[in-house]
Structure 1
């Protein structure tokens, strides 16, 4: 039934600021922007080995009011070095949600809350590298 990740959607009250922050983090500009009354309502990045989509949506379009606390599902993005990625995220203004943790041989996770209230997970995953290597 589930065939693959299509889009991870984050919300932000200031999409322009969020787009700048993620441009700095990712080193690329969004490839798609949809304005609403002059300001971006949605921006989208294609990232990683499979060009997965990371979309940032204006909070006013959220289907439910956003909680003041970060939480919910955590999507982990593969990185080659969790500690380095975690420290870079913190240096860009994210706050620690979960410090790096080894989950077992070949699996390390960490997560942060971005400056816009979204949980962003990073993970070193040996199985991911095996799949990409095929």
Structure 2
């Protein structure tokens, strides 16, 4: 039934600020904007990571009822190569700690922050992710 992660959507009141903040964080421009420039975007999307996972931003005016609440609920965790350095960078860019770096069982370590737009961004060291990536490469 579930075939894989497709898109995670974040909301922002200031789409231009969200775009610029994530361009700085990710080191790339969004690959899609609607409506197209020069119009102010109502939706932006980045493709990131080994599988070009989609990180979308929706103008908060279009959020479903209840989606504009304070941070909470499910947290999507992105595997990163250097968890401590990533968390330090996020905090230096103005994110606020939501959950500190927390060692888990079997080599998993997680952390999460709230970006300047009120979205929870999870990052982690995930040994399983590395195993799957190595298997794809035939290592």
On whether the aligned pair clears a TM of 0.5, the verdict is: yes
Show CA shifts across 1:48-74 (max 9, x none). 00000000000001111411x211110
TM-score, normalised via structure 2 length: 0.92
Q: How far apart in 2 are the matches of 1:45 and 1:79?
A: 17
Number of equivalent positions: 133
**Equivalent in the alignment of 1:47:** 48
- The reply to whether residue 88 of structure 1 matches residue 72 of structure 2 is no
Q: CA deviation at 1:35?
A: 2.3
Q: How far apart in 2 are the matches of 1:85 and 1:38?
A: 32
Structure 2 portions without partners, runs of 5+: none
**Equivalent in the alignment of 1:27:** 27
Q: How does 1:1-134 map to 2 (within 5 A)?
A: 1-35=1-35, 38-65=39-66, 66-67=68-69, 69-134=70-135
After the TM superposition, which segments of 4 or more aligned residues of structure 1 sit over 2 Å from their partners?
35-38
SS in 2 for 1:64: coil
Q: How far apart in 1 are the matches of 2:122 and 2:34?
A: 26
TM-score, normalised via structure 1 length: 0.95
